[in-house]
Every structure is written in structure tokens, then in C-alpha cells.
Structure 1
Amino acid sequence: PVATPAAASVFSDPYYIGGYNLVPNPYPSAIDWNAALGFTESNLFGTIWIFDRGSGNYGAYVRDAGSGTNDVSNIIPVGQSFFVQASTTGIGSLTINQAARTHSANDLLKDGNLPVELLKLKVVANKYSDELIVQFSEGSSMAFEGNRDAQKLRSPGDAPQLYSLTPEGTELSINTIPFSNETIIIPVGFELAANTDAVFNFTNLESFDPNITIFLEDLLSGKMIDVREQQVYTFTHDEGNEALRFRLHFKNVVGVDEQQLSAYQIWSYDSKVYVSIPALTGDKALIQLIDAQGKVVYEGEHHLSNPEIINVRANQHVLIARIITGTQVYTQKVFIR
């Protein structure tokens, strides 16, 4: 006989718990969150969260997003409950239809299905771990989007908490952002109620064009790490450290069909200017910052790192960065705030 489709009504809870609701898999089989006719729903975001005992954290998966964190995928095992999130005030609803059922391991998302331009960052600390995904997709935005991004669902206990931050301050475990020929900088939060060493591990770098630059900035140590050259970064964490200690810098992620080569990159974020000229790493250069009236507000000689970082003590919103080395001059307009 055909079983009656299971139904779980999900109600939008008060804001302080974010609208999260725990739903069981009611079938004696796994269900596929990607199943086209598997779910009837309203006022729900496209994410599921499942607790992963190995990492000590909730893993997240966004429908059709391509990958999940902390070993969570599109397949929800038999007997497994999962969280969904109401997207608006009022009532959210979810019906799990027979079409959601699956008995084939082939329905599990494989690494070969990962989208192009997806970076996964894993942190290991205090015997537990957490993961963050930053991926690029046409038509997405820097703001939170419920059908593309997964909000960070924090776990209690001793596990590290890793997330990115949107411009409006939303914490994300999966952050889908637009292609851009400008440098995109993503603040990364790391929290842990312990004093210990922690290790970052970057994977899936092969999904990016080789000409795309990706840096990790450690604001506490002042280090800039080229993650293509160094996929593992170890740092010391104190419980009192600023949570938003890190930044990810993505330069010229414009998609495969539009990739352009650039011999140098100059960009800014807050009160810092970053200069990357790989061919001149270690060479002496004169760096000038010039305001709209033509006044030099900063000038200094540098032996160029990749990238070189200049802290700007100026109130001007727009500056021209000029880098002079030998007979070569590089210029770029930058915005300081």
C-alpha cells in the first residue's frame, strides 16, 4: 500500500530563536532535500541543519547549492531529525511528500557536482571542528538570501564557531556571493571559549581559475596568507580575542568566460590599502597616496610583500594609489572609510 504523505507544520517562532524548527524524517528510508517534487512548503528558507557529533557543530546544506558543511548533504538519513527555518513572521509550513524518498546512494551529492568557484574553510580546535563555505554564483548578492545562503546555527559546548559576516551583519555558514572584477572582502568570525591553537585548512581551490587571487588576512598577527601557496594556517587563539579576526580577499572572480589577466592588483578595505604585484615581490618601491586635490597624504618606501599593506590615517574617501619602481608606475583609485 502507498503510505500517507507525512506532514510537519512549522510555525515561525519569536525572533530570539530565529524561527528554527526541528522536523523528523517520517519515512523508513532516507529523503532527498533536492527532490523536485519532494516537499510542499511556504515561508521557509532553503536550508537544512543537522547536528554532526564528530565536529560538535551543526552542518548546513542549502537546496541545490552544491555542497554542505560538517558532512551534511542533500540526503537526510532514516530516523534523522533536521532543522528548517521560517522565513517570515507568521506561519511556515512543510509537507514531506513520497517523492522525497530515496533508496539510492547515487542521490548523494558528490564532489564532482560542486559548483565552480567554491572555497571551503575548515577549522580544527579543541578536539572539534567547524566549516565555512564561500561560493560565487551569477545573480547572487552580498546580502543574505534565504535560497542561496545558510545562516550560522550555533552549537553549545566546546566546539569552535566559524562563520562569515554579510554587510548587514548576518552570520553565515554558506555564503553565496556575486562575481566581480573588484576585490571582494569577506569578514570571517572565529569564536571558541578556550585558549588553544587552531588550524585553518582550505580546500577546493582547484575550482577557481589559476589567475584568481585569494588571501586570508589575520588582523591580530598582521599576516596576509596566499591560500593557493599555503592551504594550512595555524594560529594561537585566546578566548578574549576579537571574533572578527580574519578576512578573506577574493580578487577578480568574474567567472570562467570573463577571466582577465592582471599584472597587479590594488584594493582597499576600511582604512587599509593592499598592493599586490607578484613579479616585484621583495623589490623596493615608492608608494604614494594622493587625494582629490593632488596632495600627497602618504609617501613611503617599501620592500614589497605580496600583498603589501598600508594603513591610511586620512579622512579622504577617494585616493589615488601610485606605486613607483624603477621605470614602472602603477596606479589605482581606492576608497577609504
Structure 2
Amino acid sequence: MGIVSEEWNDPLNWDINEIPGTYSDITIPASPEGSYFPVINSESSIDCNNLTIEQGSLLQLKGFLTVLGELNNADESSLVILSDASGTGSLIFNSENISGSIQRYLSDGENHFIGASTNGAIVNDLYFNNNPAVYMYSYSEISGDWVSITDLNTPLDLGIGYSVFVSDSENKQNVTATFSGTINMNDLTIPSSALSYSEESPYPGYNLISNPFTSSMSWDLGNWQGENISGSVWLWNGSYNYLFRNAQGMGNLANGIIPVSQAFFVRTISNNATLTLSADDRVHSNQNFYKTSERENEAYIALKVQNQNKTDEVWVTFCDGCTEGEDIGWDTEKLYGNSNAPQLFIRNNAREISIEALPPLGYNTRTLQLDFIAGVNGAHSIALAEIEHGPIIGEIEVFIIDKIEESEQILSLENPIYYFEASTDDPSDRFELKIWEGPNGINDADYQNDYLIYANKNTVRIKPLQASSYKNITVQIFDLSGRIIKEVRNASGNEMTIPLDK
């Protein structure tokens, strides 16, 4: 091994002259033939059977490694998971009492939500002799505040989340923290003290926990077990807003992926909450993912607001068993990001919601209050990011109503974006979201047999041709951008004359 280079995927580095595979048993010796210790690079995803790392040898992971059999290593210095600006390596294994060193890259001038990746970590693991300065905080559910941690000997318990801010006032200085010790491969039960619920809190039930594994975990896989938990998670995106996901695989946290050593919020809904994070939810974040079966079977839409490179999203779903109130595992409350970023959410009475679950439409129209807060003045857009019909047999149409511009526009996959100018002084209740379910695609030929429709100058005329055509109808007229410019209901069933503005 290590005959010509450190590259794992070079067959010339192996004594069998080929790259080991899924069923291979591998030993990394203390004195490789060519003096090179292997590195699994970031573009690599490796599976093997048994892996032994001898005393004095070294394996470094930039990419992804799954050990299907037994993993044995001499000490924490012989197994290193690397981290840099491009990402962090990933290890999935099932052997007890394995030690290693796990890095976490921290960029300057940004808040990082992190958790320890090994047992025995302390605050001093994130101290760089004050060069640069590092500010570390825990989150108090009771007060809703961030609490500064100054004692370098404070333990960083596995599964608990923290906020870290790196600051060099003179020069931008990124750093890499290293956690060394025993690494976890078992289910982890979050202690009850970290899952509090305080009615007097300004944000009742929000607790910051973290991924305790040496790989990403997928919230969508759903093997975690909890009681008195809302079922949603919130991750800080690193710069300006929260990503969110519910227990049904909906939300803008792609595939429900929670990276290595990433902290995230969960919400308890009462006292005596419990939560166990499952080792069966471990994944390498480069593997293929698909919609969960629950998500495929439900109707939903997702809207995305954007200003320059800053975005926020809101989701609405219609499901059997969902109610007008809070539906555990479905509804997801809004967490606000930075004040200079756009914020979008559904307002349902006093509740501010990022994912709103409602009863099935049932061939009706539903109008929701869509609140929007601009972070800066200027050009914005709201786009139909996703739409899924699920079990709905008919058509779904989505309309955005702008009360400031007094306009209404249909959003579709063919015409998905509404553009507008916004000010930080605009009222938050500027928009309404109208969702309509109707019969599935009526053939144009049916209209041609029932109605004569023609335009004369600035007037549209609709004349019934059959006795059966004399019935209540609603006519909507759109411009080329998809905006509704006229909506008229004909209760009499007689010929309609619709004047249009010049």
C-alpha cells in the first residue's frame, strides 16, 4: 500500500494492483511500501468490508467511507476526518470504541451552529489563543437568549448545539477546529435538560441540538423517535436565514440533510419531551435522494421570495387528516433570519408559519394571508418553486395578489415568477395567496361547441350556443405575463359583454 502516492483510488498503490472493493479487507500499515499514507479525496466514495489502521499509520478522509464490517484503529491520531471550505469528510461504521479526530472548518465573520463530534470535547477545542477571537454561546430555551461561554473547560456534550462566531478585526482569518476522542456510532438520546418547554419563554420549546455522528444524517429517513416534539427542524444557512424541514419531507432543507457536527433547532410542544437520534439515519450527503412516499402522496406548493442572492420560502400542503389548527409533524413555525434578508410566511391568526398544512381543497378556492418583510429596498420576486398535485384529480391554480399594486397574477410552471419593487416600510400583509382546485383540463373543443367567444376592439363577447350552456360561469382574462386583468361572474347565463381597459 502507498507505493506511488497517497491516492486511495490509484491501483498502483495497492499490492493487488487494483483498487479494493466492497468485499475487501484492508490493513493500513505503519510503514507502507512507498511511505505514503492513504487519503480518500473529496470526489471519492469508498466501501470496504473490514478496515484495520495500525499503530503509527494514518488514514485521512476528505471524501466518504463506509466500513461494512469491523473497523479497528490504534488511536485518535490515526483516523482523521478533514474539513475545509469545500466540505467535510464522512465516515459510516458500526464498531464500538473507535477513536478519531474530526475537523470542523469555521469561516471568519459568520455565525456557525455546531456540536461536538467526539466524546470528551471541551470549549478549549475551539480556542486558538485568541488569534483569531472566538465567541461561543449556548442557547437558553427559557429566556430565548444566547448565553456566552467563557470557561475553556466547559464540556461540549455530544448532541448539544452551540453558536460559534470567529472574528479577526484586522484580517479575515478562517480556522479549523479539531475534536479528538471516541466517536459515536450508536443511537443517541438527547438529555431531557436539553429539551425543555417554558410557557413564559418568548420562543417556547425551541432547543438547539446537534448531529452526533461522523456523517450527515437525513431527517427525511425518519428513524428518529420523539415524544412531545413538533417533528420539524431548523438549520441556520450560515449567513442570513433558516432552512426548515417537517417530518413529511417538506421544506427548503434539501433532502433533510443535517451535516457532520451541525447544530439545529427542534421544538418541544410540552413538558417531558424525548428525542432519540437514530444511527439508521446516517447518510453520505452525496448519495441520491428521492421524495419520501408521504410527500409524493400529498398536494403542496412552494413559493420562494428572492432579493439578489438572498431567499426565503413558504410551503402550503393539503392533506387528509390535516386541520385548520397546528398539525404535529406537518406545520412548521417561522424562524426569522437576519434583518437585511427577505422574510416570507403564512399568517394564520397569531401564528407565523413556514409550512402550513390544511385540509383538502375539495374543488374550492382557498385564500391565505401571505406576509412579506423586505430586508432592503429594491427589486424582489416571488416564484412558484415547486408544485405537486398528489392525490388531487383536478387542476391546481396558484395566484399571487398584490394589495399595494392592486394586481393579481397566476403562477404556473410556464410563468412562475412575479416581479415587484419593495420597501422596508411596506406593510407586512401586502400579499395574499389564492389556491384554486378545479376540474381537470376541459378540452378547448368543449368550449367551441358551447360558446362563441370573440373580441371586438376593447370588448370580449361570450355567446352561449347550446341550451345547456345557459348556466353560471366565471370568466377570467389574463394578459401575456399571466396577470388577471378581469374576472366576471355571469349569474344569468345570458350573453356576456366584457369591456377591457384601453
Q: 1:209 to 1:91 in 2, by over 3 A?
A: same
User: What's the offset of the Cα at 1:283?
Assistant: 2.6
Aligned counterpart, 1:249? 434
1:283 equivalent in alignment to 2:460: yes
Aligned counterpart, 1:97? 278
1:21 equivalent in alignment to 2:211: no
Secondary structure of the equivalent of 1:73? Answer: helix
User: What's the offset of the Cα at 1:213?
Assistant: 2.5
Structure 1 CA distance for aligned equivalents of residues 460 and 298 of structure 2: 35
Question: Partner letter of residue 25 of structure 1?
Answer: N
8 A Cα contact 1:86 1:92, kept in partner: yes
Q: 1:137 to 1:107 in 2, by over 3 A?
A: farther
User: What's the offset of the Cα at 1:133?
Assistant: 1.2
User: What's the offset of the Cα at 1:214?
Assistant: 1.9
Q: Relative contact order (alpha carbons < 8 A, sep ≥ 6): 1 or 2 greater?
A: 1
Secondary structure of the equivalent of 2:427? Answer: coil
* TM-score, structure 2 normalization: 0.49
Q: 1:20 to 1:280 in 2, by over 3 A?
A: farther
Deviations 1:184-209 (A, max 9, x none): 11110100242211111113346476
1:225 equivalent in alignment to 2:402: no
Instruction: Select 2:352's aligned residue among 159, 162, 171.
Output: 171
Q: 1:309 to 1:165 in 2, by over 3 A?
A: farther
Q: 1:303 to 1:87 in 2, by over 3 A?
A: closer
1:159 equivalent in alignment to 2:315: no
Question: Partner letter of residue 33 of structure 1?
Answer: W
Secondary structure of the equivalent of 2:250? Answer: coil
Structure 2 CA distance for aligned equivalents of residues 133 and 231 of structure 1: 15
Q: 1:209 to 1:28 in 2, by over 3 A?
A: same
Aligned counterpart, 1:192? 374
Question: Partner letter of residue 156 of structure 1?
Answer: N
Instruction: Select 2:249's aligned residue among 32, 49, 66.
Output: 66
Structure 1 CA distance for aligned equivalents of residues 327 and 388 of structure 2: 26
8 A Cα contact 1:49 1:83, kept in partner: yes
Structure 2 CA distance for aligned equivalents of residues 308 and 102 of structure 1: 51
8 A Cα contact 1:40 1:95, kept in partner: yes
Alignment of 1:98-113 (within 5 A): 98-103=279-284, 105-106=286-287, 108-110=289-291
Structure 1 CA distance for aligned equivalents of residues 409 and 314 of structure 2: 17
Structure 2 CA distance for aligned equivalents of residues 84 and 179 of structure 1: 27
Q: 1:94 to 1:206 in 2, by over 3 A?
A: closer
User: What's the offset of the Cα at 1:222?
Assistant: 0.8
Aligned residue pairs total: 278
User: What's the offset of the Cα at 1:67?
Assistant: 2.8
Please, which moves more after superposition, 16-25 or 112-121?
112-121
Q: Rg bigger for which structure?
A: 2
8 A Cα contact 2:220 2:255, kept in partner: no
Root-mean-square deviation (CA, aligned residues, Å) is: 3.4
8 A Cα contact 1:11 1:93, kept in partner: no
Structure 1 CA distance for aligned equivalents of residues 415 and 454 of structure 2: 20
Aligned counterpart, 1:132? 314
Please, which moves more after superposition, 71-80 or 100-109?
100-109
1:44 equivalent in alignment to 2:229: yes
Identity of aligned residues (%): 22
User: What's the offset of the Cα at 1:103?
Assistant: 3.9
Structure 1 CA distance for aligned equivalents of residues 476 and 288 of structure 2: 53
* TM-score, structure 1 normalization: 0.71
Secondary structure of the equivalent of 1:46? Answer: strand
Q: Which has the higher strand share?
A: 1
User: What's the offset of the Cα at 1:304?
Assistant: 6.1
Structure 1 CA distance for aligned equivalents of residues 454 and 261 of structure 2: 58
Gaps of 5+ in 1: 254-258, 264-276, 286-301, 311-320, 330-337
Deviations 1:223-266 (A, max 9, x none): 1101126311111111121101111111226xxxxx56789xxx
Structure 2 CA distance for aligned equivalents of residues 246 and 111 of structure 1: 31
Q: 1:35 to 1:120 in 2, by over 3 A?
A: closer
Deviations 1:41-88 (A, max 9, x none): 22110101111136x21011011x23321x443221111111100112
Q: 1:260 to 1:304 in 2, by over 3 A?
A: closer
Question: Partner letter of residue 460 of structure 2?
Answer: D
Instruction: Select 1:12's aligned residue among 170, 180, 197.
Output: 197
User: What's the offset of the Cα at 1:217?
Assistant: 0.7
8 A Cα contact 1:66 1:115, kept in partner: no
